Amino acid sequence: MNYDLLLRCNLHIVAEHDFKVEHTLLALPGTKKEDIKKVQALTQCDNYIRKMGFEREATYDTAGSAKLIKEGNLVGCAAIASDLAGSVHGLDAVERNIEDHDNNFTRFLVLSRNPVTSVIPPDMPAKTSIVFVLPNDPGALYKALACFSLRDIDFSKIESRPTSVCILELLQYEEGRKKAQESPTARDAATSPLFRYTFYLDFRACEYDDNAQNALLHLKELSDYVRVLGSFPRGSRLIGDVRNQVEGLEVLPLSAQAQRAAAWRRQPSRKKSSSRRLKIGIIGFGKFGQFLAKTFAQSHDVFCVDKDDMSAAAKDLGCEFFPLYDLNAFAKVVCMRV
């Protein structure tokens, strides 16, 4: 879903952040671990659940299970969620870091209307993300990867997924146009480019490096579609205008944030309270998304979108929630210039 959104929106990747996923066993205040009989099932904590012998119960999401336990005053029940969900819904952390593996990380991307490629210093380690579609020819992927390996450019990630409808329509249009140029009567003979795969590749170099430029030009000769999603510094480093904006944000301690968020939401004129207010959009409202909302909502207008119903958590944090099917409205609000 996120890859398809990147292709639909005219945005650039300007930074990345690897966020460690940590799960906490949450229950009503005063609950001890031996009092817990039922817990929300979560595959990432399967070994822990088996070891403790808890009865499993499915819920719509992790933060939602914490909300259900608090609202229903469910004694003897626990939720597996984040510390943030526990603090939002008033639950105690019975045990922390109960995930089966401690190397579970989620990669988050920082997006901007403007790229930062031109301001990356030559001596700064950089990474570039691209997307491309290859013709259905023997050895096509081997030839595409050779564009980089022959120039000693290292990969950090490559994955494939079914091509989105928007790219399929573009490829079909281009194929029909080419055939029509060759023979005006052959316009309707264009075959539908179904069952095509899109490749997402990250390589360890800046787009403007000479070797990278040559590799990309070579790749374009072999591919039906190529797009650079962004060049950015490695290691969660922000540069350029994005860094200036983030450094100007007021970051409050999480302990004081929840109290001030409630007071801020009660102010009728909160949108006029600061001349530097930004419109911040968060795609995905899980643990990290709620952390960002909790950090920024005091001084800026925060909007979020998620495939699950996170409206209650968004309301508690003082931001506006959009369901995934209303993505166009979310983009219109966030991207509208003020």
Alpha helices (runs of H) in 150-285, residue ranges in sequence order: 165-182, 210-222, 240-247, 254-265
Name residues whose C-beta falls within 8 Å of residue 218's C-beta, 6 or more positions apart in sequence.
147
Amino acid at 245: Q
**2-18+107-233 and 24-96, same CATH topology:** no
**Confidence (pLDDT) at 19:** 85
pLDDT of residue 255: 46
pLDDT for 272: 42
Per-residue model confidence as pLDDT tens for the chain (338 residues):
677 778 878 889 999 988 888 899 999 999 998 889 999 767 788 888 888 888 888 776 777 888 888 888 989 999 998 888 888 889 999 999 998 888 888 888 999 888 999 899 988 999 999 999 998 889 999 999 999 999 999 999 999 988 877 677 777 666 666 666 666 554 444 444 556 788 999 999 999 999 999 999 999 999 988 999 999 999 888 887 777 766 665 444 444 444 544 454 445 544 444 446 788 999 888 888 888 888 888 888 999 998 888 888 899 999 999 988 788 888 888 875 43
**Residue written as token pair 């939602």:** 64
Identified catalytic residue from 31, 54, 59, 106: 106
CATH no. of 248-335: 3.40.50
The yes/no answer on whether domain 24-96 falls in CATH 3.40.1280.10 is: no
- Our answer to whether residue 198 is catalytic in this structure is no
CA 30/CA 90 separation, integer angstroms: 11
Q: Which whole-number Å values give the CA distances from 39 to 66, 70, 71, in the listed order? A: 10, 14, 16
Place of tokens 């009092």: 35
**Is residue 28 a contact partner of residue 12, using CB atoms and an 8 Å limit?**
no
Confidence (pLDDT) at 263: 52
Distance in angstroms (rounded) separating the CA atoms of residues 17 and 2:
15
What ranges do the domains of the chain cover? 2-18+107-233, 24-96, 248-335
Burial 293-330 (b: 16+ CB within 10 A, else e): bbbbbbbbbbbbbbebebeebbebbbbebbeeeebeeb
Q: Which has the closest alpha carbon to 289: 63, 73, 103?
A: 63
CA 45, 47, 48, 54 torsion-angle sign? positive
pLDDT attached to residue 9: 81
Q: Given this model, what pLDDT does residue 56 score?
A: 86
Interior angle at CA 129, CA 128 and CA 131, nearest 5: 140
- 2-18+107-233 has which fold? Alpha-Beta Plaits (3.30.70)
| 296 classed as catalytic | no
Query: Rounded distance, CA 207 to CA 219, Å?
Result: 13
Among 17, 220, 234, 213, smallest CA distance to 131 is for 220
pLDDT given for residue 189 in this prediction: 42
DSSP 75: T
Measured CA to CA in angstroms, residue 139 lies from 38, 134, 135, 147 at distances of 53, 10, 10, 13
Query: What is the rounded distance in angstroms from the CA atom of residue 336 to the CA atom of residue 332?
Result: 6
Q: What is the pTM of this model?
A: 0.63
pLDDT of residue 226: 93
Report the sign of the C-alpha dihedral through residues 289, 295, 298, 300, in that order. Answer: negative
As beta bridge partners, residue 227 has 131
Separation CA 12–CA 111 (nearest Å) = 5
Answer yes or no: are the C-beta atoms of 38 and 79 closer than 8 Å: no
User: Of 108, 155, 199, 232, which one is the catalytic site residue?
Assistant: 108
